[in-house]
Amino acid sequence: MSDDAIADGPVTGKPDPVLEVRGLEKAFGGLQVTDDVDLDVERGTITGLIGPNGAGKSTLFNLVSGFYEPDGGTVRVNGTAVTGAEPHAVANAGLVRTFQTPRKLEGMTVREAMLVGPQHQTGESVLSVFTNRGQVVAEERANLERAMETLERFEIARFADTPATELSGGQMKLVELARATMTDPDILLLDEPIAGVNPTLANKLKGFIRDLNDDGITFLVIEHDMDFIMDLADPIVVLDQGSVLVEGDPGSVRTDDRVIDAYLGGPLDE
């Protein structure tokens, strides 16, 4: 293994990071869940985030995306400080996340759920509905057209009029990914995108993620399926006991003794 392939701790100071995390800390009671995390996600990459159960991966996502307030440290998105900001403010800076268990929007069809995504809609202001009605109508028409095009791209347009609560878990994974793209994110955080889905859908999701990455979206992906994430992502960041253990290319991470030890001595593909 070359020294360049993998390094102790995080690789910081990347040329064009979308996401910069420095010294991030979070404890719940006496348990230190996130411990002085430094992490950069380079623009244009699909970066994988792995680690054993309890390593702090989802907590890190919640801290970065504004769902938890950190005890210490900083978070920057596109150079803008968003430490402790509300999720909508983090989204406005360019970072959006999905959840391991997609949240079904009660009382909405899939089409309506898609229309929640677009940012900075004129119709969000009650005053604009009366003073800029033409612009509001034009934006709504454009958003509706884009929503349907996005549903078609993800091969779920047939569910447009289906109540979101009636979709299967796998179908909701597709809807949530499609809805996230409606926000035009610079970086999209995916929390276990293939958890509970069949292999055919997992392969489709991998293809969609790659296509979106080709379109310019940067990804940070938590995933327990090692074959999936090692094939999809580069670099791979390994979190253990709340801290970054190593970062490197998939081949180096898979064979690194420290990573294998973190997974209780078992090979990563088991």
Domains and CATH numbers, the chain: 6-104+168-262 (3.40.50.300), 106-166 (no CATH)
- The arithmetic mean of pLDDT across residues 62-77, rounded, is 95
| 194-222 tens-digit pLDDT | 998 999 999 999 999 999 999 999 999 99
Name the pTM for this structure: 0.85
Strands in 236-240's sheet, in edge-to-edge order, are 6-8, 243-248, 236-240, 46-50, 218-222, 187-191, 95-97
The confidence score (pLDDT) of residue 129 equals: 42
Indicate whether 109 pLDDT > 90: yes
The confidence score (pLDDT) of residue 141 equals: 84
- Band the pLDDT of 132: cuts 50, 70, 90: low
For residues 236 and 248, what is the distance between their CA atoms, to the nearest angstrom? 6
Indicate whether 167 pLDDT > 70: yes
The confidence score (pLDDT) of residue 47 equals: 98
More confident residue, 103 or 66: 66
The confidence score (pLDDT) of residue 136 equals: 56
Q: Which residue has the tokens 């950069």?
A: 40
Indicate whether 11 pLDDT > 70: no
CA distances from 208 to 28, 105, 155, 254 (A): 36, 23, 10, 24
Write down the mean pLDDT value for the chain.
86
| 235-255 tens-digit pLDDT | 999 999 999 999 999 999 999
